[in-house]
Structure 1
Amino acid sequence: MIRLTREQMAARVARDIPEGAYVNLGIGLPTRVANHLAADREIFLHSENGLLGMGPAPAPGEEDPELINAGKEPVTLLTGGCFFHHGDSFAMMRGGHLDICVLGAFQVSEHGDLANWHTGAPDAIPAVGGAMDLAIGAKQVFVMMEHLTKAGECKFVAHCSYPLTGVRCVNRVYTDLAVIDITAQGLLVRECVDGLSFDELQRLTTVPLVWAPDGH
């Protein structure tokens, strides 16, 4: 089965971010989206440690150790970008000033509940960061995740078994197999990767899906 690479997933998310949007890219996989945003589109990237106007990752050797995102990764700052106290940054998040946040996930329920900060394992290090604030504060929540765990279990579930980040907050999920909207009508599959049938996707997914490609 052909799966999207992580860079291909990031490029697919970048296609759906509209001109003029204020966007937070969560720690981990979502940060890759910044490298796939077209330079001729004006999109304002926000980081909860107090940055607005981030650009793509710097070229090797050009990193500034004092210019990092919330995941401590080096970033660039576009012309007009700025930095500020993280208290102001969280006020932006909680005040509904972000159009989109892109987050990773351990589980997403069929109702749009999100679990992305702790697996509950005794040796796991909890790392909620700003995820809870983003999940309830952003106007839209996009999730990027592999469709299956390394053990082959589906990350879409009827009810999350891990501690919740937010309730009924996820709007769209991008996996290495499909793009799926979470709606009042159920989980609507907008796209499958080339060569993957809807029936096979449903076989791999533990909750009911509805085939509803974009434009239908």
Structure 2
Amino acid sequence: MSLTKEQIAQRIAKEVKDGFYVNLGIGIPTLVANYVRDDIAVEFQSENGVLGMGPFPLEGEEDADVINAGKQTITTLPGASFFDSATSFSMIRGKHVHLTILGAMEISEDGDIANWKIPGKMVKGMGGAMDLVASAEHIIVAMMHTNRAGASKLLKKCSLPLTGVKCIHTVVTDLAVLDITPNGFVLKERAPGVSVEEIVAATEGKLTVPEHVPEMIF
């Protein structure tokens, strides 16, 4: 009964507020824009130099020159602007981005994140994640709760090279919504049909479970 990637994005979209400037990482985070309420104004920023990203283009309408940081073709909304990477990272480092949504390979109970490299595997580069996690007012991670072998990705300590230290505030997985506090993970919501016991078993890091844990509402 775990969530699909689309459902993870749908749940995260509820955290996007009117007037927010939002940076979306590659993977699941790019889907969040599909579920943001129509009655609020949100500006999506991409660190390669776009402000005002729209939905993905329809097949046959792609423009190879209009892409996001993940090299995916995108559309832009009326009033969108393009600029160089220096300006883009000035926005990010100047804390003008209210919310960053990105994926992760591992998260620790202290709020550390590892999402840019697996030793021994080819990597294109660290991208903008290190600047984003160091600068954003609020960071939400979208990820699977366990790896393909069933081992937890919410750990006591990350085993992979870190992208940022003590910077993650909220994690939305296919099983649950969790906040990260000085006392570790706190279970806030569970996916429909998923039990608290399943979430506890899938979480290696320290996990606090309130007396009542509601199911997510979509």
Deviation at 1:133, TM superposition (A): 0.2
Which of 126, 129, 133 is matched with 2:127 structurally?
A: 129
Residues 80-159 of structure 1 aligned to structure 2 (within 5 Å): 80-120=79-119, 122-125=120-123, 127-159=125-157
Deviation at 1:132, TM superposition (A): 0.1
Q: What SS is found at the alignment partner of 2:88?
A: helix
Question: Structure 1 residues 34-43 or 74-83, which shifts more?
Answer: 34-43
| 8 Å contact from structure 1 (residues 178, 192) kept in 2 | yes
Deviation at 1:59, TM superposition (A): 1.6
Residues 185-204 of structure 1 aligned to structure 2 (within 5 Å): 185-204=183-202
Work out the CA distance in 2 between the residues paired with 1:70 and 1:117: 14
Aligned-residue identity in percent: 46
| 8 Å contact from structure 1 (residues 23, 100) kept in 2 | yes
Work out the CA distance in 2 between the residues paired with 1:83 and 1:154: 40
Deviation at 1:211, TM superposition (A): 2.2
| 8 Å contact from structure 2 (residues 176, 191) kept in 1 | yes
| 8 Å contact from structure 1 (residues 118, 126) kept in 2 | no
Match of 2:76 in 1: 77
Match for 1:14: what amino acid? A
TM-score w.r.t. length of structure 2: 0.93
Deviation at 1:52, TM superposition (A): 0.5
Work out the CA distance in 2 between the residues paired with 1:205 and 1:74: 36
Residues 47-86 of structure 1 aligned to structure 2 (within 5 Å): 47-86=46-85
| 8 Å contact from structure 2 (residues 9, 32) kept in 1 | yes
Match for 1:180: what amino acid? L
Deviation at 1:180, TM superposition (A): 0.4
| 8 Å contact from structure 1 (residues 102, 141) kept in 2 | yes
The CA deviation string for residues 61-93 of structure 1, in whole angstroms up to 9 with x for no partner, is: 221211110011111111111111111001111
Deviation at 1:126, TM superposition (A): 5.2
> May I ask how many residue pairs the two structures share in their alignment?
212
Work out the CA distance in 2 between the residues paired with 1:134 and 1:141: 9
| 8 Å contact from structure 1 (residues 57, 74) kept in 2 | yes
Following TM superposition, where does structure 1 have runs of at least 4 consecutive aligned residues deviating by more than 3 angstroms?
none
Deviation at 1:198, TM superposition (A): 1.2
| Residues 1:16 and 2:15 are matched in the alignment | yes
Unaligned 5+ runs, structure 1: none
Work out the CA distance in 1 between the residues paired with 2:194 and 2:27: 27
Match of 1:163 in 2: 161
The CA deviation string for residues 19-40 of structure 1, in whole angstroms up to 9 with x for no partner, is: 1111100122211111222233
Match of 1:43 in 2: 42
Question: Structure 1 residues 96-105 or 182-191, which shifts more?
Answer: 182-191
| 8 Å contact from structure 1 (residues 202, 208) kept in 2 | no
| 8 Å contact from structure 1 (residues 181, 188) kept in 2 | yes
Work out the CA distance in 1 between the residues paired with 2:109 and 2:124: 24
Work out the CA distance in 2 between the residues paired with 1:89 and 1:190: 34
| 8 Å contact from structure 2 (residues 2, 194) kept in 1 | no
Match of 1:6 in 2: 5
Work out the CA distance in 2 between the residues paired with 1:68 and 1:130: 15
